[in-house]
Amino acid sequence: MSTAPIAAPASADLLRRAPKVELHCHLEGSVPAEVAVRLARRHGVALPTADAGELYRYEDLEGFLAVYTAVSRALATPADLAEVTHACLVASAAEGLRYREMSFNPTNHPSMTYRQVLDGVLDGVRSARAETGVDCRLVVAVNREQPPSVALDLVRAALEHRAEEVVAVGLDHDELVGPPAAFAEAFALAARGGLHRTAHAGERGDAAEVAAALDALGAQRIDHGYAVLADPGLLARCRTDGVHFATCWSTQLFHGGDGSAIAGMLEAGLAVSVNPDDPPMFGTSTGEELARAGTALGWTPGQAQQGVLAAVAAAFCDEGDRAALAAEVRRGFAELLAPPAVGWTAGSGTCASAGSGAGPGPGTG
């Protein structure tokens, strides 16, 4: 099957249906507003507003994080977590998702122990996998707004209650609050325990955050990282070392960008993938995020495929899983780009498409 790039830009429809691999998506940020309101009402948790139509409206990152934290608290039982995890994976599978590494913030759920949080999330991951075939791995996320001692206890719990789906630790929340160096001990423990490391850095304009995540935390991947463009030396280092940046198109626009940072990272030769971050909270989805980014960047189908394969290459799974996932992505794109099968219509003597609606031909991509 040919995977040669098609010269014309990919259509938004093709991008929405294309196979996808995600490295940067938050479970607590994947709760539809109406579900958040329902669960908050059930558990007596205060949200900034009980109006589902207004809940996910905020002016800045601080406002977003206030909502994110409140919604996290509304997920108060393992059953809540299982419901939300299952639902978001099934919905994304319908938009082409094949593999996701999903972050979750155990310490944002004060009504539960780490083991209870993990059990609920695993129930959702495993039921969604049985239903859709989507492979979901988990990143235990450290809330940098909480003390480093909380992070250290969290990593200890993650190592004590090992699950094969848990592959990494991450650092998230407001990078203006918790410097990476404060969490070096927790990340060193995670590394000794065999967990991969990633971190939000350079989201708010400070290239030094990216360097600190790499040096103090041993981060193997950077979430966001747009500020790397401001430091030529760091940019060259990241390009040489093959550091992967799991970017998020809609979030970058929320921060006042216009997409040029992501375009610049690609032009600079960095390894970059496009991810939905907190989909309903930023008005996007698995399919919509790739459609928005791909059409704005003018990607051809071949370039879109390479973007997805960049995520495969940076996934925290073994070589065999990566090879199988890459083959699945290539096969999915080839099927989308294959011309409709043509056959003879019996008794008519005319030639007709045998696969009406089965997929776009080369001219539609």
Annotated catalytic residue within 203, 209, 288, 289: 203
Three-state secondary structure of 264-322: HHHHCCCEEEECCECCHHHCCCHHHHHHHHHHHHCCCHHHHHHHHHHHHHHCCCCHHHH
Of the candidates 257, 276, 251, which has an alpha carbon nearest to the alpha carbon of residue 61? 251
Q: Give the Cα separation of 329 and 222 in Å (integer).
A: 23
Residue 203 a catalytic site member: yes
Q: Residue 319 class from Cβ within 10 Å (0-12 exposed, 13-18 middle, 19+ buried)?
A: exposed
With a CB cutoff of 8 Å and minimum separation 6, the contacts of 181 are: 212, 216
- 20: β partners: 97
Angle in degrees, 0-180, between the axes of helices 148-160 and 184-192, rounded to the nearest 10: 10
* d(C-alpha 236, C-alpha 132), whole Å: 40
The three-class DSSP label of residue 194 is coil
User: Structure tokens of 129?
Assistant: 């996998």
What is the identity of the amino acid at 97? L
Return the active site residues: 203
